[in-house]
């Protein structure tokens, strides 16, 4: 297992606490659903988009898990210009190939991030009647049981977007026969619209060639006042490897990861309210270059359009190992790489009707408005 280094700078619970935003303070929805945090101090200043990541790994040969962490928190400030739908450093064809080729199992790092994200649910007051698990086979299967334990009465919708992986999800999440009697339902397949009060998406966004469309899809699946929980890799991920490639004059080892500010802008653009973003850095260490590359291959692939245009030979592979020993080897003798983890939370607000000479309201929005009016009057 990879060894993790660092220090926790503050309680991660502050990420979902009562912190005021730049415009008008925490929204009514945020005040309703989020528990109060004991520590409301803002964390460090934010960097701009940074190193990308590349070749991608597994946890063999790594040492036991220690502490780590450097947190940053941001409640989104000024809205910036929206990025284009396809990130400029992601090749859509390469993204589709990776989708099909990715191992039908969650990497160790994904499971660990899912465990940390599940711990953040303790600060959310709303107990969903139904929740959706987006792509659990890659996002993390262990967290599924933790969420079921936290919300034992909630129905669950399991969504796998890759053909064939739904079979793996059904087998992995199958309940014993005695738990199927009288318990909440588990549905496998496409997500219905406005069907759940929580959507859980762990470590998926950074590998998507169309992240805005994906966020919009999640928004449609949520009911009004439901909330999204997601995580992904941030721009400082694999900064040591990127620096090494740049020094050697090689193409980028991976596509660039999106900054947390831009994820917040996309959430607002999709219709979410008051997104709250939290960040931590994790440093993993290994004994050999082979272990590093094995771990990276589990996590993803290089989707950069300017990546190496062909396979490398054995001589280049030996050079790669030598350069990794030279650039990544730490004083303790282990090779180290940084992973920036972004956590996001946002609420889907109830639809509002803009009053004008002529106003058009969808049938689904009208139903939501009527249900909301009845609940407030009761």
- Is residue 330 in some structural domain? no
State the alpha helices, DSSP H only, in 289-362: 289-299, 314-328
- Is residue 54 in some structural domain? yes
Contact of 10 with 39, CB cutoff 8 Å:
yes
Question: What pTM was computed for the model?
Answer: 0.75
pLDDT of residue 61: 41
Indicate whether 243 pLDDT > 70. Answer: yes
- CATH number (domain holding residue 7): 3.40.50.150
- Is residue 355 in some structural domain? no
- Is residue 366 in some structural domain? no
pLDDT of residue 338: 98
Indicate whether 376 pLDDT > 60. Answer: no
Label residue 60 by pLDDT band (50, 70, 90).
very low
Q: List pLDDT tens digits, range 267-278.
A: 999 999 989 999
pLDDT of residue 80: 39
DSSP 123-138: GB----SEEEEESHHH
- Is residue 333 in some structural domain? no
Residues 81 and 204: their CA atoms lie apart, in Å, by 23
pLDDT of residue 363: 63
pLDDT of residue 175: 79
Indicate whether 233 pLDDT > 90. Answer: yes
Label residue 164 by pLDDT band (50, 70, 90).
confident
CA 341 to chain centre: 8
Residue 55 lies in domain: 3-322+341-347
Half-sphere exposure of 246 (CA within 13 A, CB side): 10
Question: Residues 143-156: what's their mean pLDDT?
Answer: 95
Handedness of CA 222, 226, 230, 235 (dihedral sign): positive
Label residue 75 by pLDDT band (50, 70, 90).
very low
The position carrying tokens 């272990």 is 291
Overall domain count for the chain: 1
Residues 216 and 5: their CA atoms lie apart, in Å, by 36
- Is residue 159 in some structural domain? yes
- Is residue 80 in some structural domain? yes
The position carrying tokens 């993204």 is 95
DSSP 252-299: PSSPPPPPHHHHHHHHHHHT-EEEEEEEEEEEEEESSHHHHHHHHHHH
Q: List pLDDT tens digits, range 347-367.
A: 999 987 565 566 565 666 655
Instruction: Share the mean pLDDT of the chain.
Output: 79
**Taking Cα atoms as reference points, which of 195, 266, 162, 225 lies closest to residue 369?**
225
Indicate whether 307 pLDDT > 70. Answer: yes
Indicate whether 123 pLDDT > 90. Answer: yes
Label residue 89 by pLDDT band (50, 70, 90).
very high
**Least confident among 28-37, 162-171, 324-333:** 28-37
- Percentage of the chain beyond pLDDT 70 is 70
- Is residue 217 in some structural domain? yes
């Amino acid at each position: 297992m990879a060894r993790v280094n660092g220090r926790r700078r503050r309680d991660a619970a502050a990420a979902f606490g009562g912190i005021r935003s730049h415009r008008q303070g925490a929204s009514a929805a945020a005040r309703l659903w989020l528990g109060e945090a004991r520590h409301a101090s803002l964390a460090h200043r934010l960097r701009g988009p940074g190193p990308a990541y590349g070749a991608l790994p597994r946890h063999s040969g790594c040492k036991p898990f220690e502490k780590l962490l450097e947190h940053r928190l941001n409640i989104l400030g000024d809205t910036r210009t929206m990025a284009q739908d396809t990130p400029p450093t992601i090749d859509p064809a390469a993204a589709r190939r990776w989708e099909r080729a990715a191992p039908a199992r969650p990497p160790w790092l994904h499971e660990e991030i899912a465990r940390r994200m599940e711990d953040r649910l303790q600060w959310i007051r709303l107990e969903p009647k139904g929740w959706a698990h987006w792509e659990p086979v890659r996002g993390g299967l262990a967290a599924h049981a933790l969420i079921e334990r936290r919300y034992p009465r909630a129905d669950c919708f399991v969504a796998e977007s890759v053909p064939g992986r739904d079979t793996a999800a059904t087998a992995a999440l199958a309940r014993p026969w005695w738990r199927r009697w009288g318990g909440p339902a588990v549905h496998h397949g496409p997500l219905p619209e406005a069907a759940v009060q929580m959507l859980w998406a762990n470590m998926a966004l950074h590998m998507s060639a169309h992240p805005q469309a994906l966020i919009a899809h999640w928004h449609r699946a949520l009911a009004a006042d439901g909330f999204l929980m997601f995580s992904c890799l941030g721009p400082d991920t694999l900064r040591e490897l990127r620096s090494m490639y740049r020094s050697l004059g090689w193409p980028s080892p991976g596509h660039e990861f999106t900054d947390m500010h831009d994820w917040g802008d996309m959430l607002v653009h999709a219709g979410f309210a008051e997104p709250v973003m939290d960040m931590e850095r994790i440093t993993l260490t290994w004994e050999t270059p082979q272990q590093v590359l094995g771990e990276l291959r589990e996590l993803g692939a290089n989707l950069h359009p300017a990546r190496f245009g062909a396979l490398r030979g054995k001589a280049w592979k030996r050079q790669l190992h030598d350069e990794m020993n030279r650039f990544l080897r730490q004083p303790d003798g282990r090779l180290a790489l940084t992973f920036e983890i972004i956590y996001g939370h946002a609420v889907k607000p109830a639809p509002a009707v803009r009053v004008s000479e002529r106003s058009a309201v969808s049938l689904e929005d009208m139903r939501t408005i009527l249900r909301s009016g009845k609940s407030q009057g009761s």
